[in-house]
């Protein structure tokens, strides 16, 4: 537990006699300066990691855990020490940059010490410090503004809430190309409540891989309980408990699986099998399309499943391969073309159902060519189809078992043909 406590909290946990003995050698001015010192009040997870090997500091923490204060104090500390001269601060929106990162109670202006006050120039989106160092302010809504600046330090707040995360993050990495005044490489801090976005997952994978350039520190909302309302924390524990929302938003954990998911990532990885494609007797591709085509619509899920040939003495093996989620717009084209296509498909399906119901009134020789499953579909759709209008026409005469016979039906301006095959019925989309 002591690893999560600041020096000030450790000092407060001592008895009055022990505290007085430790502080006896300090003057009143030194005590006041110590009370305002950030490294004395900060928890260990709020301080920059040791070492010079990392480029990205990923601070994953819950709501109210002190992420913004850690980012602001880190920038000020590097600037005041003279190690950095051009810093870039990026937030989700221009409003959040000013309201949280600059003017907020844990922002840059509030965190500046009295003898090192900074001047905020909102018209040019810039903060100027007494030693000439500058902090340039950017919004993830305008990623192209990160083209051009030369930076030696970066602070990204709430990266998971960025609307143009990929473009803004890439432009920031390209802008971080100046070394510090002491020769140290450029660095960036990411303070965020984690979500399974592509950038966050890539950073976590980098930290766990070989030759990492990312270091991760974690904190929960409850680690900062000395600065938060006790009744509110008790309400959070009672209301959210051990739910996925609590793990992500309060404990700062990266949750990749949806709550209640039947197929978790851990289960897929545990049961994954490697099989040669030639050994599979059947391969099925399943597509779960989204319900919209706009920018905020969901993604299209695709899964590929294969079943191998049975062999003596070995059970049948099924291989399931989840395919990367593809946005519906990328899969089916432009929205206007997709909407027109859906309208045509809907009209054609309606014509198919009406035509099948009409087929039950054909001679016995015709019905003999249809499979049992087709007849069941006809019976179940009989009552629905009576209220629909369809123009159907009979094709060529159907001899008892001929596979060249056909039934034609029209739906709107489209005409399709169903060709019965011996022993089975196959459906082909238009």
Q: Say which residue, 279 or 83, is predicted with more confidence.
A: 83
pLDDT at 331: 37
238-277 per-position pLDDT tens digit:
998 888 888 899 999 888 776 667 777 777 777 777 777 7
Domain ranges of the chain: 1-37, 42-240, 272-332, 357-418
What is the arithmetic mean of pLDDT over 188-208?
A: 93
Average per-residue pLDDT in the chain?
77
pLDDT at 355: 61
Q: Is the dihedral of CA 181, 151, 90, 49 positive or negative?
A: negative
What DSSP letter does each residue of 371-412 carry, written as one string? -HHHHHHHHHTHHHHHTS--EEE--S---TT-TT--EEEEET
Q: Are strands 407-411 and 391-393 parallel, antiparallel or unpaired?
A: antiparallel
pLDDT confidence of 12, banded at 50, 70, 90? Answer: confident
321-376 per-position pLDDT tens digit:
554 444 333 333 344 455 566 666 666 666 665 665 555 555 555 545 554 445 44
pLDDT confidence of 107, banded at 50, 70, 90? Answer: very high
pLDDT at 351: 64
Distance in angstroms (rounded) separating the CA atoms of residues 245 and 253 = 10
Best CA proximity match to 88, nearest among 140, 125, 157, 137: 137
What is the arithmetic mean of pLDDT over 140-159?
A: 94
Distance in angstroms (rounded) separating the CA atoms of residues 180 and 90 = 19
pLDDT confidence of 120, banded at 50, 70, 90? Answer: very high
CATH class of residue range 42-240: alpha beta
Best CA proximity match to 111, nearest among 75, 64, 156, 73: 73
Which single residue is written with the structure tokens 């040791």? Answer: 50
Q: Say which residue, 17 or 295, is predicted with more confidence.
A: 17
β-strand partners of 153? 87, 187
Beta-sheet strand order (sheet of 86-91): 119-121, 126-128, 134-139, 86-91, 153-157, 187-192, 56-61, 214-219
**Most confident residue range from 120-129, 280-289, 415-424:** 120-129
Which single residue is written with the structure tokens 């600046």? Answer: 149
Neighbour count for residue 88 (Cβ, 10 Å)? 25
Residue 168 DSSP SS3: helix
pLDDT at 382: 46
Going from the C-alpha of 276 to that of each of 222, 269, 306, 309, 315, the distances in angstroms are 50, 18, 10, 11, 16
Distance in angstroms (rounded) separating the CA atoms of residues 264 and 122 = 47
What angle do the packed helices 198-208 and 165-175 form, to 10 degrees?
A: 50
pLDDT confidence of 278, banded at 50, 70, 90? Answer: confident
What is the percent of the chain where pLDDT is above 90? Answer: 44
In the chain the first and final C-alpha atoms are separated, in Å, by 65
What is the percent of the chain where pLDDT is above 70? Answer: 69
pLDDT at 250: 93
Lowest mean pLDDT segment, chosen from 213-217, 250-254, 286-290: 286-290
pLDDT at 338: 53
Residue 301 phi/psi, 5-degree rounding, is: -95, 135
52-93 per-position pLDDT tens digit:
899 999 999 999 999 999 999 999 999 999 999 999 999 999
């Amino acid at each position: 537990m002591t690893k999560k406590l600041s020096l000030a909290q450790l000092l407060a946990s001592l008895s009055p006699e022990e505290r007085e003995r430790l502080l006896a050698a300090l003057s009143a001015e030194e005590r006041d300066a110590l009370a305002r010192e950030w490294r004395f009040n900060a928890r260990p997870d709020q301080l920059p990691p040791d070492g010079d090997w990392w480029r990205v500091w990923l601070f994953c923490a819950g709501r109210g855990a002190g992420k913004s204060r850690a980012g602001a104090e880190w920038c000020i500390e590097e600037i005041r020490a003279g190690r950095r001269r051009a810093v870039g601060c990026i937030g989700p929106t221009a409003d959040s940059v000013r309201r949280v990162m600059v003017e907020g109670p844990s922002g840059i202006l509030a965190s500046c010490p009295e003898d090192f006050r900074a001047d905020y120039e909102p018209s040019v989106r810039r903060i100027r410090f007494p030693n000439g160092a500058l902090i340039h302010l950017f919004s993830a809504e305008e990623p192209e503004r990160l083209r051009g600046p030369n930076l030696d330090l970066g602070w990204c707040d709430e990266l998971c809430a960025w609307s143009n995360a990929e473009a803004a993050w890439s432009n920031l990495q390209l802008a971080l190309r100046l070394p510090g005044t002491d020769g140290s490489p450029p660095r960036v801090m990411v303070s965020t409540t984690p979500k399974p976005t592509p950038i966050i997952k890539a950073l976590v994978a980098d930290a766990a891989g070989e030759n990492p350039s990312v270091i991760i520190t974690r904190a929960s909302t409850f680690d900062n309980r000395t600065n938060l309302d006790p009744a509110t924390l008790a309400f959070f524990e009672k209301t959210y408990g051990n739910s996925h929302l609590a793990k992500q938003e309060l404990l700062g954990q990266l949750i990749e699986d949806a709550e209640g998911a039947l197929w978790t990532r851990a289960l897929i990885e545990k049961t994954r099998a490697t099989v040669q494609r030639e050994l599979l007797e059947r391969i099925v591709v399943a597509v779960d399309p989204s319900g919209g085509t706009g920018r905020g619509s969901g993604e299209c899920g695709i899964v590929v499943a294969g079943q191998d040939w049975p062999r003596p003495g070995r059970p049948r093996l099924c291989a399931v391969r989840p395919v990367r989620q593809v946005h519906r717009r990328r899969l089916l084209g432009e929205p206007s073309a997709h909407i027109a296509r859906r309208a045509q498909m809907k009209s054609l399906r309606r014509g198919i159902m009406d035509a099948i119901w009409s087929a039950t009134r054909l001679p016995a020789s015709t019905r003999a060519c249809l499979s049992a499953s087709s007849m069941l579909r006809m019976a179940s759709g009989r009552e629905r189809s009576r209220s629909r209008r369809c123009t159907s026409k009979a094709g060529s005469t159907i001899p008892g078992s001929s596979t060249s016979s056909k039934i034609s039906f029209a739906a709107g301006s489209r005409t399709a043909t169903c060709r019965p095959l011996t022993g089975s019925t196959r459906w082909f989309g238009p």
